[in-house]
């Protein structure tokens, strides 16, 4: 898994990458798992007032799952920081008005990954397919790759220094997850490089 994004020669401002069937399968599976973690969107009931939908309240409490708490952090305190009453109330108010929209965007980003991967067809005789992203799809992929890395990093309890991840033995049960984490990081870094002029 050494493929990296490169600037697209056919789509101005876009990015391209060659992916084999295994890479496509892994990326698609991770994106679907992220969608399941984030949860389904709230569909408005038939006849609901569209204006009321804009002002629908979201949750006021942070998620209990550490990975979701990382994806939807508190606005006024950092991880592990103790909140006073004012910060708790301000965080709840902020979350109530922003989390639904943030969840929608994260779902849209993950769905974009799934949809673009579903359109891929391997080139004849190569077993690999070239994925070409528009600038908007690149932004969505970047968001989804970031969310996947945050989720996996939280599950692995990655701290600032992740050097120990490179020294895991092959029989460590975390090894496949670590390999995915590092690969996603390389993909994310190469995609960022295509977006920077």
Asked if residue 11 belongs to a domain, the reply is yes
Asked if residue 73 belongs to a domain, the reply is yes
What pLDDT was estimated at residue 2?
65
134-147 burial, b for 16+ CB within 10 Å, e for fewer? eeebbebbbbbbbb
What pLDDT was estimated at residue 41?
60
Of 179, 193, 17, nearest to 113 (Cα)?
A: 17
DSSP per position, 44-63: PPTT--HHHHHT----SS--
Q: Which of 56-60, 108-112, 178-182 has the highest mean pLDDT?
A: 108-112
How far apart CA 197 and CA 188 sit, in angstroms, is 16
Instruction: Name the one residue in this structure whose structure tokens are 């569909």.
Output: 43
3-state helix, strand, coil in the chain (%, to 5): 55, 5, 35
Domain that holds residue 29: 6-195
Q: At what angle do helices 175-195 and 21-38 cross, to 10 degrees?
A: 100
Average pLDDT over residues 41-61: 60
Using the 8-state DSSP alphabet, how is residue 122 labeled? Answer: P
Instruction: Name the one residue in this structure whose structure tokens are 């108010």.
Output: 93
The H or E element that residue 191 is part of is helix 175-195
- Does the pLDDT at position 18 exceed 70? yes
Asked if residue 173 belongs to a domain, the reply is yes
Counted domains in the chain: 1
Asked if residue 68 belongs to a domain, the reply is yes
Beta-carbon contacts of residue 186 (< 8 Å; ≥ 6 apart): 4
Q: Is the pTM of this model over 0.75?
A: yes
- Evaluate whether 95 touches 59 at the Cβ level (below 8 Å): yes
Asked if residue 174 belongs to a domain, the reply is yes
Hey, how many other C-beta atoms are within 10 angstroms of the C-beta on 171? 6
What pLDDT was estimated at residue 165?
78
Beta-carbon contacts of residue 15 (< 8 Å; ≥ 6 apart): 5, 6, 7, 8, 132, 133, 138, 141, 191, 194, 195
- Per-residue pLDDT band at 52 (split at 50, 70, 90): low
Asked if residue 1 belongs to a domain, the reply is no
How far apart CA 145 and CA 141 sit, in angstroms, is 6
Structure confidence by residue, pLDDT tens digits, 136-191: 999 999 999 999 999 999 999 887 767 777 788 889 888 999 999 999 999 999 99
């Amino acid at each position: 898994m050494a493929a990296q994004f490169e600037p697209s020669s056919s789509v101005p401002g876009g990015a391209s990458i060659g992916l084999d069937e295994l890479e496509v399968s892994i990326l698609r599976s991770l994106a679907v798992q992220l969608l399941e973690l984030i949860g389904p969107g709230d569909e408005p009931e038939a006849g609901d007032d569209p204006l009321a939908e804009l002002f629908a309240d979201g949750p006021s409490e942070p998620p209990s799952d550490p990975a979701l708490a990382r994806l939807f952090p508190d606005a006024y305190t950092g991880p592990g920081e103790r909140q006073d009453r004012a910060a708790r109330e301000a965080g709840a108010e902020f979350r109530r008005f922003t989390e639904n929209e943030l969840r929608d965007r994260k779902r849209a980003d993950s769905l974009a990954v799934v949809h673009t991967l579903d359109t891929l067809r391997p080139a004849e005789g190569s077993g690999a397919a070239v994925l070409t992203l528009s600038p908007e799809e690149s932004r969505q992929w970047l968001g989804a790759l970031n969310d996947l890395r945050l989720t996996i990093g939280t599950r692995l309890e990655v701290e600032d220094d992740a050097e120990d991840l490179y020294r895991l033995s092959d029989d460590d049960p975390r090894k496949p997850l670590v390999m995915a984490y590092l690969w996603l990081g390389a993909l994310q870094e190469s995609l960022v490089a295509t977006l920077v002029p």
